[in-house]
Structure 1
Amino acid sequence: MALKGKLEAELELKASADKFYSIFRSQAHQVPNATPDIIQHVAVHEGDWETHGSVKVWKYTVEGKAEVFKEVVEFDDANRAATLVGVDGDVMKIYKTYKGTFQVTPKGDGSLAKLTMEYETLTADAPPPTKYFIMMINMTKDIDAHVVKA
């Protein structure tokens, strides 16, 4: 029996919600510059950098291992949320469904990022995607630092 789950975290960011969201909304090609130790490359596979439903392929390193992730992006501009829905790649060998959401809301001079990872494993003995969630948290911190410096 497969297991369904959700991981959530909130992080306070120094970057404004609009600046942080714009990275995912229209500048995903900048992510490898912001977090080179984690993300080495991202390319548009179908669509473009800004269109809801576009497909991107990410090359990244998690726990010292090079992996690939192919996703369809969903944007919710009203709530400044970008969701990366897994469709192929290394994570899809373990998870039937895999969806990571980056949502930011204004807070003071900065913003609050709510990170959510929803998943369903292919098998009952598959681990939760904790290592990928930690990667998501570290990406968020790196992107925040990059946006603040720019």
Structure 2
Amino acid sequence: MASALVGKLETDVEIKASAQKFHTIFKHRPHHISNVSADKIQGCDLHEGEWGKVGSVIIWKYFHDGKDRIAKEVVEAVDEENNLITFRVIEGDLMEHYKTFKLTVHCLPKEKGSVVHWTIEYEKLHNEIIDPHTLVEFVVAVSKDLETHLLEEDETTQAN
């Protein structure tokens, strides 16, 4: 039965930073994430296209489940107005287990701070593969690292 192979995991991360600033990092400066989440993200390189443009290809080097990993992703959608960006994995370690793998990060403003809504959609290659719950934990941890960085950035800006 193919339906057991298709899955979707979602989580919300409440942060004190603005939705727009959080979105801007993923859209225009994902290569800066390794500076603030170095234990998880080793690097992010633009392979083709432009940062934040649909169709651009980005290569992430990250540390997950005790191993160095790589993901080559295409920016599939960018919605500036709604602070949303979608990445589709096209090569790398995840493709050893998944036929398709897509991450969407959607930042929703709140009165104070914002909610980062992560969606991971995937199709497993076979039933023995577990759902990527550890990747949900991973994106939550990266979100928290970014929140800390953005708040420190705001404090520095206000101090000057």
Residue 75 of structure 1 deviates from its aligned partner by 1.1
Larger Rg: 2
**Who is 2:157 aligned against?**
none
2:55 is equivalent to residue 45 of structure 1:
no
Alignment of 1:132-147 (within 5 A): 132-147=135-150
Q: What letter is aligned with 2:111?
A: G
Does residue 1:131 correspond to 2:99, yes or no? no
Output one character per residue of 1:13-40: Cα deviation in whole Å (capped at 9) or x when no partner.
Answer: 1100111110011111111012101000
After TM superposition, the runs of 4+ consecutive aligned structure 1 residues lying more than 3 A away are none
Within-5 A mapping of 1:97-136? 97-136=100-139
Aligned residues: 150
- Determine the C-alpha separation between the residues in 2 that align with 1:82 and 1:140: 14
Structure 2 distance, partners of 1:125, 1:137, is 25
TM-score (norm 1): 0.95
Question: Structure 2 length normalisation: TM-score?
Answer: 0.90
Question: What SS does the aligned partner of 1:53 have?
Answer: coil
> SS of 1:127's equivalent?
coil
Stretches of structure 1 lacking an aligned partner (at least 5 in a row) = none
Any stretches of 5+ residues in structure 2 without a counterpart? Answer: 154-160
* SS of equivalent to 2:51: coil
- Alignment root-mean-square deviation, CA: 1.1
Q: How big is the shift at 1:78?
A: 2.2
* Aligned positions of 1:12-23 closer than 5 A: 12-23=14-25
Once the two structures are superposed, what CA deviation does each residue of 1:79-123 show, in whole Å capped at 9, x if it has no partner?
A: 111111100000011001101111011101211111110110011
Give percent identity, aligned residues only. Answer: 41
- Structure-to-structure mapping, 1:22-101, within 5 angstroms: 22-73=24-75, 74-101=77-104
